[in-house]
Amino acid sequence: MGDFMDRLQKVIANSGVASRRKAEELISQGKVSVNGEVITELGTKVSEKDEILVNGIAINREEKVYYLLNKPREVISSAHDEHNRKTVVDLIDEDKRIYPVGRLDYDTTGLIILTNDGELTNLLTHPSNEIDKVYVAKIKGTLTPSEIMALKKGVVIDGFKTSKSKVKVKSIDKKNDTSIVEIIIHEGKNHQVKKMFEAVNHEVLKLKRERIGFLDLTGLNSGEYRKLNHKEVSKLYEMTK
């Protein structure tokens, strides 16, 4: 890579220690040193050889990696699990310390991004960035037009009103009294999709995330993953701008 120079606050944000704005505050407050010298000037250029300490602790500056995983059921969306259950990180053959961006429930399947890029993680998980997350749910019963309307306009879950969503009934199984519904949301609150359907009195029997922004599950069977290429990573950054 050679001696690549980058702005100090960006390097700190990339390491995942703090958002870029927070990094700028830390620099202004004199909490950051480069090669033993406190730096308070924003936009100071640093190279890969420079030692950067934030609050006296060296930041992690390893090469950034990005993976797309088709998460199987019964796998935990975190880097560690106190009950020693299998996690999404266990499925990926990578020595660097990666972690999932956002989460999918234990029994929810589908698309999840894993990376060691702290800045991208912050951008993607911030609700103001309105990135489409497309889910397909198998639910008990059939949605009425007024229930569909309620979901589209936003329902209250845990005292929080969901923002507008798109809802499309894909198929109805009258015999088993279930239906398949596609729902597109922007936020990612805990168990959000399940709770949204519960708010209109339908239980979610199965749930899969099929798409995040322009990324989908093409070519990935359950448990399979692939690396994102530079173009895809740049596009993710662009989407969050």
CATH number of residue 38's parent domain = 3.10.290.10
The reported pTM is: 0.78
Place 3 in a pLDDT band, splitting at 50, 70 and 90.
low
96 with 157, same domain: the answer is no
Banded model confidence at residue 82, pLDDT cuts 50, 70, 90 = confident
Q: Is 105 marked active-site?
A: yes
Q: Quick one: which of 65, 50, 49 has its CA closest to 1?
A: 49
User: Which CATH number belongs to the domain containing residue 106 in this structure?
Assistant: 3.30.70.580
Q: Is 30 contained in some domain?
A: yes
Q: How confident is the model at residue 207 (pLDDT cuts 50, 70, 90)?
A: very high
CB-based burial of residue 199 (10 Å sphere; 0-12 exposed, 13-18 middle, 19+ buried)? middle
The answer on 221 and 115 residing in a single domain is yes
Same domain, yes or no, for 77 and 42? no
Count of structural domains, the chain: 3
What CATH number does residue 147 fall under?
3.30.70.1560
Predicted confidence band at 115 (pLDDT cuts at 50, 70, 90)? very high
Contact (CB, 8 A) for 101 and 108:
no
Tell whether 127 is covered by a domain: no
- When pLDDT is averaged across residues 180-198 and rounded to a whole number, the result is 92
Catalytically annotated residue among 81, 105, 107, 216: 105
Domain span holding position 184: 132-212
**Measured distance CA(117)–CA(2) in Å, rounded:** 20
Report yes or no on 155 lying in a domain: yes
126 assigned to some structural domain: no
DSSP 175-194: TTTEEEEEEEES---TTHHH
Per DSSP, 2 falls in state -
Strand partners, 138: 180, 206
35 located within any domain: yes
Q: What is the CA radius of gyration of the chain?
A: 21
| Whether 239 contacts 213, CB under 8 Å | yes
Question: CB neighbours (10 Å) of residue 126?
Answer: 14
Instruction: Mark whether 106 and 159 lie in a shared domain.
Output: no
Alpha carbons within 13 A on the beta-carbon side of 159: 0
Mean pLDDT, range 127-154, rounded to an integer: 94
How does pLDDT run across 7-65, given as a tens digit for each residue? 999 888 878 788 889 999 999 999 999 999 999 999 899 987 889 999 998 887 778 89
Cα distances (angstroms) measured from residue 111 to each of 3, 63, 71, 77: 36, 23, 6, 11
Evaluate whether residue 12 is within a structural domain: yes
Pairing of strands 204-212, 109-115: parallel
